[in-house]
Amino acid sequence: MVLAALVPCFLNGTLDIHVQLEKELAEYVGKDEALCFSYGFTVNSGVIPQLVGREDYIICDDRDHASIVDGRRLSFATCLKYKHNDMEDLERQLQKCSPKSVKLIVVDGVFSMEGDLCNLPEIVKLKHKYDATIMVDEAHGLGVFGRQGRGVCDYFGLTDEVDLIMGTFSKSLAVSVVLSLLIKLLLTGCATMLVLISLVLLLLLLLNSLCA
């Protein structure tokens, strides 16, 4: 039997399958807990404002995704931006912050338009130097980078240093799963012309998802 809640948990309640999914997701990315939202955009726009108060700071890369920008705007915190992957500029922004306030660095693991990775090792160094917190958006990294597609944080071996990891099923993770299944069909000789065409289309979708 397959059951579908079709609505968010806060409307229809939390089912056992939700709890199991969150447990397996947490184990997959190497964190203690996970929380599922209806879709990825609401994670950044909904969670970020809850992590900081009026006396706190959000520091973002100026190429961060629009959902991060919306989350930043919905907060009461002071918002600071640093030049794309410029660690010297990030440090300048951190120096502007009050030492006793929350300093939340929010960054894309893979930048969707540029296609490059965040400089996570240097961000972690600055985190410790200025007592900051790190949130990484892995929407374009899960399924592609790291061991078994665990993302950019795992790729750098810094999962334990990142305080919050955001991901989604709709981008690189989803495409990589379907793509791997099609490749298995191809290698086992079970592929038809339709499968081969689907494989080409999914390769194009994968490229598009990394740039969306």
Span 77-110, pLDDT tens digits: 999 999 999 999 999 999 999 999 999 999 999 9
Cα–Cα distance for residue pair 177/172, rounded to 1 Å: 9
- pLDDT of residue 180 exceeding 70, the answer is no
- pLDDT of residue 212 exceeding 90, the answer is no
Q: At 37, is the pLDDT very low, low, confident or very high (cuts 50, 70, 90)? A: confident
- pLDDT of residue 6 exceeding 70, the answer is no
CB-side neighbour CA atoms (13 Å) of 49: 12
Residues 6+ apart with CB under 8 A from 149: 142, 143, 173, 176
| Average of per-residue pLDDT across 47-69 | 95
User: Among all residues, which ones are annotated catalytic?
Assistant: 112, 140, 171
- Flag the least confident range among 1-10, 23-32, 55-64, 83-92: 1-10
**3-class secondary-structure state, position 13:** coil
- From the number of C-beta atoms within 10 Å of its C-beta (0-12, 13-18, 19+), residue 167 rates as buried
Phi and psi at residue 140, in whole multiples of 5°? -110, 10
Q: What is the pLDDT of residue 3?
A: 38
The pLDDT mean for the chain works out to: 85
Q: What is the pLDDT of residue 1?
A: 30
- pLDDT of residue 204 exceeding 60, the answer is yes
**Beta strands at 133-137 and 57-61: parallel, antiparallel or unpaired:** unpaired
